[in-house]
Amino acid sequence: MALIVQKYGGSSVANGELIKSVARRVAEAKDEGNQVVVVVSAMGDTTDELIKLAHQVTEQPKERELDVLLSTGETISSTLLAMALESLGYKAVSLTGAQAGIQTDSSHSQARILRVDPKRIINELEKGNIVIVAGFQGVTPDMDITTLGRGGSDTTAVALAASLSAEICQIYTDVEGVYTADPHLVPEASKLEEIGYEEMLELASYGAKVIHPRAVELGKLYNMPILVASSFSNSMGTVICKEASMELRNKVRGVAHDTNVAKVTVIGVPDRPGIAMAIFEPLTKANISVDTIVQNASIENITDLTFTVARNDLIKAMSLVEPAAQSVGAKRCVTNAKLAKVSIVGTGMQNMPGYAALMFRTLYEKGINIQLITTSEIRITCIISEDRVKDAVQALHKSFELEDVA
């Protein structure tokens, strides 16, 4: 008997009817003779609505309280799915993240899973239950509720699949798989049959929100195959697994975009040891991740330091950067919150010249100004104005001939 983990995203469980139809899909997997563990997200836009609600009562909700509040979204959908399965005649039990043994560190709103103790799940499976786990949440060693970051139910699913040695982790969502670009932005994007963990990790980390980057990381670590497919059809999805035939692949596999980007420039920083440490250490301590750091060559020992943070971290970041900049004698700080990242990704790009040039030419021909550039071995990212992101992604998709890739 195989054990499979399925995960259904927010739009797949957005209302009672949809929850009933997910229940029928789960029941089918059970009827095929599998042991089934299901992870669910909160219904529709519940998480956004709960965040709004918190902001109606305070400007700066306490992170501990916010995590408890947000976790209720997933708790609700897990109970409803268990009820829907019972009404179809299947034995089902819902578990919170804590009950399911998801233990995390205490970084509220961005917690990382430290370990999974699946004994309760195994126990329930042995009793013949379908086990429904509330995604996105865990518990600290002190029994405080945490959440795993937006989109984190995917990570719950892959972590459970790994700890239960499941045959596969199936992520069901509102698109039919992983495409060469967001199909809502590029209608001619192609669905990929298969993609390697590394490429998927870069795409997800740079904005392809079809799967949470931590989920891909865990998949890679435990060599857990992940299927991304539609909750609404039976068409073949995309399998994320070890890259088999790297050399045969199209060199660029996908274009990702991310509009959650803000840029900070600290102007007139003295060019001496210890400055970067003084600016970035407080951000690290506050758990704010910084990306794309650029320091200009200095003229007369004065330089500018530019970096990006997630847009929703900007206010918190500035409350730390401004005093740090002042203390090291910088002139002033300026910010721009209306930016986006566009990235091309592909393992085949490794050590092959020409990709950056084609990317820059494509953006130039569209009249799009590049503000910052960063690269990894298998990715090139340009930071541009947010209002040009759609044009940029569409043009890059065309330039790199991604319409007929599979």
φ, ψ of residue 154 in degrees (nearest 5)? -60, -40
Q: Does 151 bind ligand ASP (CB under 6 A)?
A: yes
Minimum Å gap between C-beta 142 and ligand ADP is: 29
C-alpha distances in Å from residue 321, one per residue of 73, 294, 303, 371:
34, 16, 16, 21
Minimum Å gap between C-beta 277 and ligand ADP is: 36
- Please give the Cα distance from 374 to 149 (Å, whole number): 24
Minimum Å gap between C-beta 238 and ligand ADP is: 8
Of 62-121, binders to ligand ASP (CB under 6 A) are: 73
**Rule CB under 6 A: which residues touch ligand ADP?**
9-12, 41, 151, 173-175, 178-179, 181-184, 208-210, 254
- The closest alpha carbon to 18, from 80, 87, 64, 79, belongs to 80
Nearer to ligand ADP, 210 or 405 (CB): 210
Nearer to Mg ion, 41 or 75 (CB): 41
Amino acid at 111: A
Q: Report which residue's Cβ sits closest to ligand ADP.
A: 9
Q: CB under 5 to 8 A by kind: which of ligand ASP, ligand ADP, Mg ion, none does 136 bind? A: ligand ASP
Minimum Å gap between C-beta 26 and ligand ADP is: 15
Minimum Å gap between C-beta 223 and ligand ASP is: 23
Minimum Å gap between C-beta 247 and ligand ASP is: 35
Question: Edge to edge, what strands does the sheet with 35-40 contain?
Answer: 92-95, 130-134, 35-40, 3-8, 168-173, 226-230, 238-241, 194-196
Nearer to Mg ion, 27 or 81 (CB): 81
The contacts of residue 69 (CB under 8 Å, 6+ apart) are 50, 53, 54, 61
Q: CB under 5 to 8 A by kind: which of Mg ion, ligand ADP, ligand ASP, none does 182 bind? A: ligand ADP
Number of Cβ within 10 Å of residue 304's Cβ equals: 16
- The closest alpha carbon to 392, from 348, 359, 352, 351, belongs to 359
Q: Are 163 and 37 in contact (CB under 8 A)?
A: no
Q: CB under 5 to 8 A by kind: which of ligand ADP, Mg ion, ligand ASP, none does 37 bind? A: none
Q: CB under 5 to 8 A by kind: which of Mg ion, ligand ASP, ligand ADP, none does 47 bind? A: ligand ASP
Q: CB under 5 to 8 A by kind: which of ligand ADP, Mg ion, ligand ASP, none does 73 bind? A: ligand ASP
Minimum Å gap between C-beta 152 and ligand ADP is: 10
Amino acid at 88: L
Nearer to ligand ASP, 54 or 278 (CB): 54
Q: Does 213 bind ligand ASP (CB under 6 A)?
A: no
Q: CB under 5 to 8 A by kind: which of ligand ASP, ligand ADP, Mg ion, none does 152 bind? A: ligand ASP
Q: Are 306 and 372 in contact (CB under 8 A)?
A: yes
Q: Are 104 and 111 in contact (CB under 8 A)?
A: yes
Nearer to ligand ASP, 135 or 237 (CB): 135
Out of 5, 6, 10, 211, name the contact with ligand ASP by CB under 6 A.
Answer: 10
Q: Does 41 bind ligand ASP (CB under 6 A)?
A: yes
User: Residue 390, SS3?
Assistant: helix
> Binding segment for Mg ion among 8-16, 20-28, 58-66, 292-300 (CB under 5 A)?
8-16
Q: Are 340 and 384 in contact (CB under 8 A)?
A: yes
The DSSP element (H or E) to which 283 belongs, if any, is: helix 275-285
Minimum Å gap between C-beta 242 and ligand ASP is: 25
- Please give the Cα distance from 329 to 274 (Å, whole number): 12
- Please give the Cα distance from 147 to 70 (Å, whole number): 8
- Please give the Cα distance from 139 to 106 (Å, whole number): 8
Out of 135, 151, 177, 237, name the contact with Mg ion by CB under 5 A.
Answer: 151
Q: Are 393 and 181 in contact (CB under 8 A)?
A: yes
Q: Are 83 and 76 in contact (CB under 8 A)?
A: no
- Please give the Cα distance from 36 to 20 (Å, whole number): 17
Give the interface with ligand ASP as residue ranges (CB under 6 A). 9-10, 41-42, 47, 73, 135-136, 150-153
Give the interface with Mg ion as residue ranges (CB under 5 A). 9, 151
